[in-house]
Amino acid sequence: MNPAYDFTGQVAFVTGASSGMGLATAHAFAEAGAAVGLADIDEGAVCAAAQELTDAGHRALALVCDVSDEDQVASAVDRTVETFGRLDMAYNNAGIMPPPTDAADESAAQFDRVQAVNLRGTWAAMKHELRHMRDQGSGAIVNCSSLGGLVGNPGRAAYHATKHGVLGLTKSAALEYGSRGVRINAVCPGTIATPMVEAMAAQGELDTEQAEAAQAIDRLGTAEEIAQAVLWLCSPGSSYVTGVALPVDGGYTAQ
Ligand X SMILES: NC(=O)c1ccc[n+]([C@@H]2O[C@H](COP(=O)([O-])OP(=O)(O)OC[C@H]3O[C@@H](n4cnc5c(N)ncnc54)[C@H](O)[C@@H]3O)[C@@H](O)[C@H]2O)c1
Catalytic (active-site) positions: 159
Q: How far is the CB of 221 from ligand X (least distance, A)?
A: 7
Note whether 158 binds ligand X by CB under 6 A: no
Q: Which of 25, 33, 23 is nearest to 58 (CA)?
A: 33
- Say how many residues touch ligand X, by CB under 6 A: 31
Q: How far is the CB of 100 from ligand X (least distance, A)?
A: 14
Q: How far is the CB of 184 from ligand X (least distance, A)?
A: 16
Name the residue nearer to ligand X (CB basis): 135 or 203.
203
Q: How far is the CB of 180 from ligand X (least distance, A)?
A: 26
Note whether 94 binds ligand X by CB under 6 A: yes
Q: Which of 76, 97, 93, 67 is nearest to 14 (CA)?
A: 93
The beta-strand segments (E) located in the chain are 11-15, 35-40, 60-64, 89-92, 139-144, 182-189, 245-248
Lay out the site mask for ligand X across 134-153 (x = CB under 6 A, - = otherwise).
----------x-x-------
Interface with ligand X in residues 32-61 (CB under 6 A): 40-42
Note whether 247 binds ligand X by CB under 6 A: no
Name the residue nearer to ligand X (CB basis): 12 or 192.
192
Note whether 197 binds ligand X by CB under 6 A: yes
Long-range CB pairs of 220-223, under 8 A, 24+ apart, other chains included = 220/190, 220/191, 220/192, 220/193, 221/189, 221/190, 221/191, 221/192, 221/193, 221/248, 221/249, 221/250, 222/24, 222/192, 222/193, 223/20, 223/21, 223/23, 223/24, 223/25, 223/192, 223/193, 223/194
Name the residue nearer to ligand X (CB basis): 12 or 65.
65
Residues forming the site for ligand X (CB under 6 A): 15-16, 18-22, 40-42, 65-68, 93-97, 117-118, 121, 144, 146, 189, 191-192, 194-197
